[in-house]
């Protein structure tokens, strides 16, 4: 089971499934959109399964399930209807993905204009950090020791150390 979206079809498990699937096998997919985000991607995947006569079952769109059981007139008509439906749904999925990206871009721009902070809150220099910094600078403990003792991540430790040193330097210049 892969829990990734159809945005990137190079997922290792999905590619392995494609290689192992044989004529007559059935692959169950959550939704058509899991086969790809663009209409062309979905159609390409669909053609691959059609060429190899691998059955597809869609949990959320059972009306486009594909079962290769022989070719009767009804199968040909049903196949044409499924392909048309597939094309339309793929186009809507691609449009929806585009709309989501656009709304995200607009939302971020609006938040920036309103002065809202985006991302994680900045790590603050605390009294505990100053104590840890002084221990480190005096040589009584290594940087790694400080990180373990106070539960500070490496990048945070060095970033805070740099900020603290700059603040100390500014304070000396202002005095």
User: Does the pTM of the predicted model rise above 0.75?
Assistant: no
Topology annotation, domain 12-113: Rossmann fold (3.40.50)
Q: For residue 95, what pLDDT is reported?
A: 87
Distance separating alpha carbons of residues 91 and 103, to the nearest angstrom: 18
Neighbours of 160 (CB within 10 A): 20
Q: What does each of the 175 residues of the chain score in pLDDT, given as a tens digit? A: 555 554 555 678 888 999 999 999 999 998 888 888 788 888 888 889 988 989 999 899 888 888 876 555 556 777 777 788 888 888 888 888 889 999 999 999 999 999 998 888 877 888 888 888 898 999 999 999 989 988 888 998 899 999 988 887 666 666 5
| Residue ranges of domains in the chain | 12-113, 127-174
Distance separating alpha carbons of residues 147 and 31, to the nearest angstrom: 45
Q: For residue 44, what pLDDT is reported?
A: 87
List Cβ neighbours of 57 (8 Å cut-off, separation of 6 or more).
Answer: 26, 27, 28, 29, 65
Give the helix/strand (H/E) hosting 67: none
């Amino acid at each position: 089971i892969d829990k990734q979206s159809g945005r990137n079809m190079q997922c290792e498990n999905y590619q392995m499934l494609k290689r192992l699937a044989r004529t007559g096998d059935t692959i169950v997919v959550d939704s058509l959109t899991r086969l790809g985000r663009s209409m062309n991607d979905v159609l390409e995947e669909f053609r691959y399964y059609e060429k190899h006569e691998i059955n597809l079952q869609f949990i959320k769109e059972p009306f486009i399930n594909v079962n290769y059981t022989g070719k009767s007139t009804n199968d040909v008509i049903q196949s044409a209807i499924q392909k048309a439906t597939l094309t339309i749904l793929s186009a809507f999925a691609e449009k929806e993905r585009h709309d989501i990206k656009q709304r995200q871009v607009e939302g971020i721009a609006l938040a920036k204009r309103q002065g809202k902070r985006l991302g994680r809150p900045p790590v603050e220099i605390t009294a505990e950090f100053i104590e840890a910094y002084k221990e480190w600078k005096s040589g009584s403990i290594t940087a790694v020791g400080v990180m373990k003792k106070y539960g500070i991540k490496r990048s945070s430790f060095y970033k805070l150390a740099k900020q603290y040193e700059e603040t100390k330097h500014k304070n000396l210049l202002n005095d």
